[in-house]
Amino acid sequence: VSAQAALRLAQVDLSEDARLAAAKLELAQANRILANEGILDALGHVSVRDPTNPNRFLISRQLSAALVTPKDIVAVDLNGDAVSPEVQNQSLFWERFIHAALYQKRPDLVAVLHSHTPSILPFSVSSTPFRPVVHNAAILGEELRVWDMRKKFGDTTLLVTNMAVAQDLADCVGSDTGCLMRGHGVVIAARSVKELVWYAMAMDLNAKTLTTAQALGGTTTYLSKGEIAAFAKAQQGVTSALERQWNYWLSRADLAGFNE
């Protein structure tokens, strides 16, 4: 089934197979968008809760985002284990537990991203807080806090390779949009894949703007609490701007291999 055909099918046919195929397609598209826009590089990953089973999530097998196609997407349970007997845990991402712990802790979440986006990394090791300065980034909330694995787990590789560490990270996220990971990257989560990609792009733009503004010297003007609240309120139920952005990012992405 071609990508476009799968989408059309999902719109009229609500069978489990059709919904699963549509979710895999959208997640593969998100991988290509995030790679193309510089959010994901060789490493990092994005997932979506399985629309046919809330106790599972869909994620690519161990593969760089720029190379992911819908057929590379596999199901993983909320302990981080592969669901299908044909898929070995060794072929999954080491840090898949990040996703498992967040879906376990937050039933409201539908999509999760873990990335090492270069623009955000300085804020994970600096005392300068990551707070919104550009309007779009208001959607991220008042501040993304920094999770430091060393506080609880001592000297490690900084990688999140088991559920105990992942649950500690999920505790840091709490009810927020995400959390910076000291010396490592970021995790952000949303209520849909499209929303998540938007958050990631807003995060990147905000990080670049904030870094550049601070390099200019002088004082930095952050969005106020009231502005952040006003933006969140204005976004409720509005999908047209999100669709417009998604279609733009998708038009720029390389979808080679999708119809093979």
The residues that are catalytic are 95
**Between residue 92 and residue 111, which ones bind Zn ion under the rule CB under 5 A?**
95
Stretch binding Zn ion (CB under 5 A), from 2-10, 32-40, 63-71, 87-95: 87-95
Q: What is the per-residue binding string for Zn ion in 21-60, x denoting contact by CB under 5 A?
A: ----------------------------------------
d(CA 19, CA 31): 18
d(CA 50, CA 52): 5
Number of residues that bind Zn ion (CB under 5 A): 1
Stretch binding Zn ion (CB under 5 A), from 5-13, 89-97, 124-132, 168-176: 89-97
Q: How far is the CB of 95 from Zn ion (least distance, A)?
A: 5
Q: How far is the CB of 114 from Zn ion (least distance, A)?
A: 6
Cβ 98 vs Cβ 114: under 8 Å = yes
Look up tokens 């990040």; give the residue: 98
- Give the amino acid at 121: L
Cross-strand pairs, 77: 56
Q: How far is the CB of 184 from Zn ion (least distance, A)?
A: 6
Closer of 95 and 204 to Zn ion (Cβ) = 95
Stretch binding Zn ion (CB under 5 A), from 26-34, 63-71, 91-99, 191-199: 91-99
Cβ 96 vs Cβ 80: under 8 Å = yes
Closer of 153 and 222 to Zn ion (Cβ) = 153
Closer of 26 and 95 to Zn ion (Cβ) = 95
- The interaxial angle of helices 240-252 and 16-36, nearest 10 deg, is 70
Question: At 43, is the secondary structure helix, strand, or coil?
Answer: coil
Closer of 116 and 135 to Zn ion (Cβ) = 116
Q: How far is the CB of 238 from Zn ion (least distance, A)?
A: 32
Cβ 207 vs Cβ 130: under 8 Å = yes
| Cβ neighbours for 39, distance < 8 A, ≥ 6 positions apart | 113, 115, 117, 200, 201, 204
d(CA 26, CA 7): 9
Closer of 111 and 186 to Zn ion (Cβ) = 186
Residue ranges in contact with Zn ion by CB under 5 A: 95
